Each structure stands twice: as structure tokens, then as C-alpha cells.
Amino acid sequence: MAEIKSVRLSAAAGPPNVEITIGHAQFGKYELSLFDTDGRNPVVVGSGLSHDKLPDNFQIDGNPQALNGRFLSWSANIIPAGNESNAQFSLTINVRQNNRDVAGSPITSQGPLPGPHADFGFVKLEVGA
């Protein structure tokens, strides 16, 4: 079984923000969800398109201490924006507090994009002093 990745939040810092970036100028639609500590009861904390003019940055409200042991997931459907023969994609998740990446962030996925691609993942949120 693969090890579960985690990001480390500070209990003393403000609420975390999550930003998703779909790179190489590709088109993408995404959704970010927060699960409880049992991996159940997902709540969508952000969704959108990579190619609109809206920010792809979402605050997870509440006391960071209440996030300990919860899971953040993302899913994205990515399609090539043009007809490049060697199209590539990248998807980066930044988890930040006070405008700085927390330990374990960023999380990046990248590779060839010969056609439509679904990318997804999750991390466990751990809160320290």
C-alpha cells in the first residue's frame, strides 16, 4: 500500500488557502474537496476552470486545529488547448498559510497529454504547534 502524503499546518497560523494550477496553457476543470478524518462526508471547498479569469485559490475556513487528520482531495479533467504533437500538462496544488507554502506543499503531477486526461489525488492535513 502506498504511503499517504501529508501537509503540515500550523495551529498558530491563519486558515489555509489551497491553490490549483494547471500548467502548459492547457484547459482544465477541477474540484477540491475536504473529507472528515474517516475519509467520508466530502465538502466541496472550491471548483472552477483553469482558463477563466476567476482566481483558482480557495480558503478553507475555520480553526486550523479542527482540520487535523482530515483529507484534502482534488480532481481535474485536462484537455490539450491546441494541436501540439507533444503536448504536456502539469497540475500543482499549493497549500499555504500566511501566503507561504506549508511543509509537504506543493504537490505536482505532470506528464504527456496526447488527449483528455483525468488527474486526481489527496493529502492528509496534519496540524502542529
Encode pLDDT of 9-46 as tens digits: 999 999 999 999 999 889 999 999 999 999 999 999 99
Residue 90: inside a domain, yes or no? Answer: yes
The pLDDT of residue 90: 96
Cβ-Cβ contacts under 8 Å for 1 (sequence gap 6 or more): none
Strand segments (E) across 1-129: 6-10, 17-23, 27-35, 43-49, 57-59, 71-79, 88-97, 100-101, 107-112, 117-128
The pLDDT of residue 2: 65
Residue 65 DSSP SS3: helix
Cell of 64: 486550523
Range of the domain at 78: 18-98+110-115
Residue 54: inside a domain, yes or no? Answer: yes
The pLDDT of residue 61: 87
Residue 123: inside a domain, yes or no? Answer: no
The pLDDT of residue 55: 93
Whether residue 64 is preceded by a cis peptide bond, meaning omega within 30 degrees of 0, is no
The rounded percent of the chain whose pLDDT value lies above 70 is 98
Residue segments in the chain with a per-residue pLDDT below the cut of 70: 1-2
- For residue 81, which amino acid is it? A
Residue 9: inside a domain, yes or no? Answer: no
* Nearest to 127, CA basis, from 34, 65, 61: 65
pTM as predicted: 0.93
- Considering its fold, how many domains does the chain have in total? 1
